[in-house]
Amino acid sequence: MDSRALKLLVAHRGFLAILLFSIVIHLPIYGDGLNFDGCVAMAVAQALVDHGTFDVETTLVPLHPPGMALVFVPFGIALGFTEASIHSLELFFLGLDLFLVYFLARGLGPRFAVIPVLLLSLDPVLYLNMSEGRSLSVLICFSVITLWGIWRGLEDSRWLIVAAAAASMGFLTQRRFLTFGTGGRCTVSKGCQRQGFSNAALLAESAWVVTGETSSANARLPSLAV
């Protein structure tokens, strides 16, 4: 190992230690079963690979936005469409979330930058959602990137394209992302339009429309007794 790589590891040893600790304490998620939403994402991803369609062979599956299934496709192809591959996706996005939070917190200094990373790694709600195969870890990733893009867009409007792309994936992953979409969608799309980025604005608006239509269709489904 050369001196440059060694210095890099030493400089970020706090983050690397928390990252390793977080992965270790989250390994028990592999022993847990999937929530219904996780099963739906896995089934839709497999249908997309096998048949080229988002439709699954049952009428008992509610219509979810396809983002989680799309994100899961490469994991399903590489590891198989199993519970373990869903949990591997969750663990991957946990590491990515911790990296993004640490990257954005570096301005606080080397000591304080690890505090939000540590808090996120110990979040029991995140652990519970990961153990059930839900999309929270994926949504955290898209949310952080969206907010980062908007923040950077205040200085350089080209970053609004990043915010638009991340917000679009958030809209397509979970309907609850529309809570952010009420304000964030307007900020991203209107900002892109003012700066002449019509394609980015169209991307954000299209994703919102697709997710809104999916939500409306889901609301029209009859309630299922469990």
Q: How many residues does the chain have?
A: 226
89-143, pLDDT tens digit by residue?
999 999 999 999 999 888 777 778 888 999 999 999 999 889 888 888 998 999 8
Is 161 within the bounds of a domain? yes
Residue 56 predicted with pLDDT over 80: no
Q: How many beta carbons lie within 10 A of that of residue 168, not counting itself?
A: 27
Q: E strands along the chain, which residues?
A: none
Q: Is residue 224 part of a domain?
A: no
Residue 226 domain-assigned (yes or no): no
Range of the structural domain that residue 214 is part of: 3-219
Structural domain contains residue 88: yes
What is the rounded radius of gyration, in angstroms, for the C-alpha atoms of the chain?
19
Closest CA to 44 of 86, 90, 84: 86
In eight-state DSSP terms, residue 38 is: H
Q: Tell me, yes or no, whether 130 lies in a domain.
A: yes
Instruction: Give the alpha-carbon dihedral of 46, 93, 90, 71, to 10 degrees.
Output: -10
Token couple for 96: 């990515």
In this prediction the pTM is 0.75
